[in-house]
Amino acid sequence: MAQPEKAGYISHSESTYYLKIGFHLEKMMMEHLAAIIPAMPDWAMKQALGLHQWQDSIHANELRVRTKELRGRPDKQVHPALSYIPVYLATAPNVRAMLAAIYESMKPRLVDLLQEQEKSVFPVHDAPTQHIMKQICTEEKEQIASIKLLERLSAELYNTPAWQPWYAACDQIIGELLVDVFRQSKTWTEQRHQEALRELVRLAPEQLELPASQAIRPENFQVQDRVSAPVNPSRREELIWQFGYGYLQEMQAAETLGSIMYEIKGMPWEFYLDLSRHLWDEVRHSTIGEVRLKEIGVALEEMKYMTGNYSWRQEIDAARRYITLTLVIEAGSFPLRHMRLKGHMELNDYLSAQAFLYDAADETMHVQYGRKWAPELMSRYRLGADLEALVQECREANDKRTFDNNREPGPA
C-alpha cells in the first residue's frame, strides 16, 4: 500500500517528538543558567541570567504542556544522547565558556529547530504549537542579543583566559549530537560520548566549580558580611539600611536557589518550575534595592556586599538549604516586613511602601513553595517524617551561622 502523501507537513508524532526535545533542552539551559549565577562576576549578567532561566522555565513548561496535549509523554523514551549534554557542560573551564555553550551553541540551534517546526506543522491542526514556537523564538533571540551586549560591556568577562578552544570543541560536539537527536537516529554511541568527553577535559585547563562554594561579586564591589545598623538614622540612612542592606543583598538568596536547582535531581517538573520563579523573584528583590538606592542617589559601588550566608548554606545539604530558606528565613521575615511597611505608609513614602507590598506577595508564595515541597524532599533524602523538628533544626543552625542585616536600625 502506498504511503499517505505528506503534503509538506510533519506528522502528529514528529511534532510531538520535537516538542519533547524542546522541553528537555529548555530545562537543561534553565538549570545551567541558574547554576552559574553565584560564579558570575558581573552584576548585570547575574540579573540577566536570573531572568533568562525563568523565561526558559516558562518555555519548557509550554513545550511540556503541549507535548501532553498531543498525548505525548515528556519524560518517557527521551533520546539517550540528550543526557550527555550536561556531562559535557560540566567540563566548562569558566563561566565565559559556559555562556558561550548556552547562548552561542545551544540556544541558536534550539531556535533553528523550533522555527523549522513552526514552518512545517499543519497550520490549522497544530496551530497551538505554532503559536508557542513563535513566542519562544522571539524571546530566545532577545536573550541571545542581550547577553552579547552585556559581554561586550563586561571587563570581568572580556579578559577570561583560554575558553575558546574548549568552546569550539563543545560547539562542534553539541552540533553533531543534536543532529542525531533531531533526526531521531542513534549514531551517538557510548564510545563517541567517551571520546568527546576526553577531548573536552583535555581542552579545559581547569573546571568551573558547579555550584560555586562562594558567591562572586564584581571586582569594584566591597565584600563585607558584618555591617552595623546606623544609630539614630536620618530618613536617608534608614532607606539605605532597608534597601541596601536588606533588599540588595537578596542576590544571595537567588544564588542559593541556583545551587539548589543544580544539585537536586529527579524531582517532579513542577518543583523546578517553582524554584525557577523563586530564583527570579529574589533577583528582582535585589534589583528593587538597587532601583530604590539609585532614586535616593546611592551608587552600587558605595555599598558593602554580603556573601557569607551563601557560603555557609553551601556547607549543608541542598534539601536542608531549601527548607532553611523557605520555612525558616522567609517564613520568619513577615513581622519586620509589616512593621517597615507601616512606617513607609505613615510617612507617605509611596515608592518604599509599594516595594514592600510587592515583595510581601512574592514572599508569601515562596513560603507556600516551601510547604509544598518540603515533605517530598524529606522522604527523598530520608530526613525523617517530622517537618517541625527539621524546621527547628534548620532554625537553630541558621541562628548560629547567619549574618543578619534585617535588624531594626538602632544601637549596633
| Residues near Fe ion, by CB under 5 A | 250, 282, 285, 330, 363, 366
Shortest distance, position 333 Cβ to Fe ion, whole Å: 8
Complex with Fe ion: residue 12 or 407, whichever CB lies closer = 407
Shortest distance, position 10 Cβ to Fe ion, whole Å: 43
Complex with Fe ion: residue 90 or 325, whichever CB lies closer = 325
Complex with Fe ion: residue 68 or 407, whichever CB lies closer = 407
Complex with Fe ion: residue 80 or 308, whichever CB lies closer = 308
Residue 306 grid coordinates: 554580603
Half-sphere exposure of residue 279: CA atoms within 13 angstroms, side-chain side: 35
| Phi and psi at residue 408, to the nearest 5° | -75, 150
Shortest distance, position 74 Cβ to Fe ion, whole Å: 28
Complex with Fe ion: residue 62 or 363, whichever CB lies closer = 363
Shortest distance, position 362 Cβ to Fe ion, whole Å: 6
Sign of the CA dihedral 39, 42, 43, 45?
negative
Complex with Fe ion: residue 24 or 366, whichever CB lies closer = 366
Shortest distance, position 407 Cβ to Fe ion, whole Å: 17
Shortest distance, position 288 Cβ to Fe ion, whole Å: 9
